[in-house]
A and B are shown apart, each in its own frame.
Chain A
């Protein structure tokens, strides 16, 4: 016990004296939350589109005007199609609406009129916005225009209501999701360096010739970085909830518990990488690719998992970030959902224990890896 405490104290002193661990634990989350808050926006944005009206009917001019009044659209009026083509090609406008010359005639006859919407398929997301904005502006105009009664209404009236995030504000799920990234960085990147460092600097060799046992080495790494991770978590939650005012509907206790489990699995990955590779550079590269990249791309945070290729969908089931990201998002936006909490916790616990066991097995007490069976065999050969 005395040995373990000494090792933990040593590790904490090293953490406090190493600016990089403080940067990863506190400065990096701040920067990443800032980026997710102000830099990344998955919501609809104001798009610039062209409009060309071939219908001389003055009533239609009000439709053109309503494009100008929309808060989602910046409209530019064009006189001929050639100009529209060049403007799209030069990306000055993201799409265009062309009102044909028989638009009002068809409307007054009670027929369904046509409206041409051109979009720029090289930016698919924006193209979708252009299309839906144009349609909703046209429909809104129709409902309030004098043709309102003349066109057949759709037989089903839909009314959309978005639960948990009524404003469809993507910050509400991305910013808490970034906690997962910070936790991964602390759990995997930071710890991937710590065992390798002891090997490189020769301190491991000195330590192995003292009374230290495997469990001391393993816990002596797990505990200090777990503490650091939990402090960083608290700081992250503070940033999200207090500074950036992200609504939190769940329970802080549940959040801390499940985050702790996630941190436990991440530490397991990092320490395994470090114990096996014994080289800081290699370990940090591997940690980046098995830890950071999946947390960013395969967790469902940025890209929806069910739109991934089947192989990657299966891959996300193995990696811990998916379970944590879905939990964090629901905890923040929908409150504690027992099914999610329990299922994800069970998986994280099992994975964390398996990894802990692997770290224990990979922590060598000698300078070479020799199994007890091999020792017995060599002893037998006397």
Chain B
């Protein structure tokens, strides 16, 4: 049998939304196939349908020769599926999770190789909930790989993971499978997809490209451009968000300053001697592996956590002395979608306008203006939880900018967002910076790091390198940002 999966004309409709539209696709045996597409393109629905967790309205599927609709019980022993949330029990330890999944899959308790390979051996008795993001992913993958499945399906396993963990994850999959194993890997990282044997691009429920990624483009960067083209292209327009932005007058040099920031938990330094100074209109990137102390720094900078030593100043105002005044100069976009899901887009904006102290009389006009500028008019009356991810991000940004802050903090704003939305998002960010907004941003996308004016590389709570992207690349003697990242981290370990 040549193909692991054969799909003929499947359609799936959820309410008014057509998730998959007359889709046909074959997935070759023994190959790694990347699945890419915009948010809501139907990637997860397709994966779930292939293994029988969802049933098509129309059409036929054959997976490993079984019909997943009627033969799900026969099919499941042959597959390994890692859902987006990894499916780990956070209140069980690493080894208990492995034992549980081994029992559920009827395989032997032989985890030695797996534990060594994932470097989880020393953490066997740690609760899964207490692991870092990268380690959780490795454990999730280890549970999925138990019993050497013939067919491995991974649903965006590398969202929110740093380049080192991503590289480990990739190596793990390649080393643990045999040449007969088929892998279907859904991802938002196009450089990842470029390294696979095959790639399937789906858009609005249809397959728009299938083939060898190298046939499409030779370098990951070109590949990204080609994929964007396939998806209808991205036209860089003047950012209306930035255009409408009214710069504030009292801007000084060093609009954001960290002065020997330190956070200590017991004997453990989460952040140590963190000092930097960001100037007006600068995009400053904070990069580092998961658990390096980026989020802790972020929280201290906006006064959500109290530093054990040192301080931070926003527009010259000390965050530890007058947190409220310092924060009024700040727009903050949190890592997770942190708006009110059951409120409409407009109600969310109204709430944040009020929370940021915009006068009642100006509020209505301000909200209207923001809705216009951010292109949210058609969605104003929709509940925000129903929005697609890209629009949610845009709404979060709108809420963070409603009070015209001179400083903007973005904590992994593009995690789990598709390429086109990311491009659009960065267009706004760079335009805002040109208008004089100071921006502090964290990201795991190394291509995004290139947009930053300066980068601080963070590891084990300390800055290990600081400079422009070019300076860092030179320092590491690397061509790409990703190599730079890995090299500098490895060097600091020695």
* Contacts from A to B (Cβ < 8 Å): 2-3, 5-7, 9-10, 13-14, 17-18, 201-203, 205-213, 365-368, 370, 374-375, 378-379, 381-382
- Are the CB atoms of A206 and B105 closer together than 8 Å? no
B55-78 CB contacts (< 8 Å) to partner A: 55-60, 69-70, 72-73, 76-77
Looking at the assembled complex, report how far the CB atom of B315 sits from the nearest CB atom of chain A, in whole angstroms: 40
Taking CB atoms, residues of chain B closer than 8 Å to A370 are: 55
Query: Chain B 85-101 against A: per-residue CB contact (8 Å), 1 yes, 0 no?
Result: 11111111000100111
- Confirm or deny: B485 has a beta carbon within 8 angstroms of a beta carbon on chain A: no
Knowing A2-B103, A6-B103, A375-B70, say if A206 contacts B55 (CB, 8 Å): no
Q: Which residue of B lies closest to A16 (CB)?
A: B91
Q: A366-B54, A367-B54, A381-B58 are in contact. Are A206 and B77 (CB under 8 A)?
A: no
Known: A375-B55, A378-B55. A205 touches B87 (CB 8 A): yes
Contact B106 A378, beta carbon cutoff 8 Å: no
B60 touches A382 (CB 8 A): yes
Q: A13 with B96: in contact, given A3-B106, A209-B53 (CB under 8 Å)?
A: yes
Contact A202 B92 (CB under 8 A): no
The yes or no answer to B458 lying at the interface (CB within 8 A) is no
The reply to whether A202 and B54 form a contact with Cβ atoms under 8 Å apart is no
By beta carbon, the residue of chain B nearest A364 is B53
Asked if A6 contacts B100 (CB within 8 A), the reply is yes
Contact pick for A367, options B53, B56, B73, CB 8 Å: B53
How many Å lie between the Cα of A381 and that of B59 in the bound state? 8
A211 with B53: CB separation less than 8 A: no
Contact across chains for B52 and A366 when beta carbons are under 8 A apart = yes
- Nearest-Cβ distance from residue B62 to partner chain A, whole angstroms: 12
A13 / chain B contacts, CB cutoff of 8 Å: 91-92, 96
Which of A3, A18, A368, A379 contacts B103 (CB under 8 A)? A3
A206, B90: Cβ atoms closer than 8 Å: no
Majority-rule SS of A interface residues = helix
Q: Which residue of B lies closest to A381 (CB)?
A: B58
A213 neighbours in B (Cβ, 8 Å):
73
Q: Is the CB of A14 within 8 A of B85?
A: no
Q: How many angstroms from the CA of A211 to the CA of B70 in the assembled complex?
A: 15
- Taking the closest CB of chain A, its distance from the CB of B379, in whole angstroms, is 24
Given contacts A13-B92, A206-B82, A375-B69, are A367 and B48 in contact (CB under 8 A)?
A: yes
Residues of B within 8 A of A381 (CB): 58
B76 to chain A, nearest CB (A): 6
Contact with A along B104-116 (1 / 0, CB 8 A): 1110000000000
C-alpha gap A244/B393 in the complex (Å): 59
Please name the residue on chain B nearest to A15 by beta carbon. Answer: B91
B356 at the interface (CB under 8 A from A): no
Provide the residues of chain A in CB contact with B57, threshold 8 Å.
378
Q: CB-CB < 8 A to A2: which residues of B?
A: 103, 106
CA distance A184 to B178 in the complex (A): 52
Report the separation of the CA atoms of residues A18 and B90 in the bound assembly, to the nearest whole angstrom.
11
Alpha-carbon gap, A382 to B10, bound state (A) = 10
> Closest residue to A200 on the B side, CB-wise?
B85
For residue A368, which residue of chain B has the nearest CB? B54
Q: How many angstroms between the C-alpha atoms of A203 and B89 in the bound complex?
A: 7
In the complex, B51 has a CB within 8 A of chain A: yes
Is the Cβ of B77 less than 8 Å from the Cβ of A211?
yes
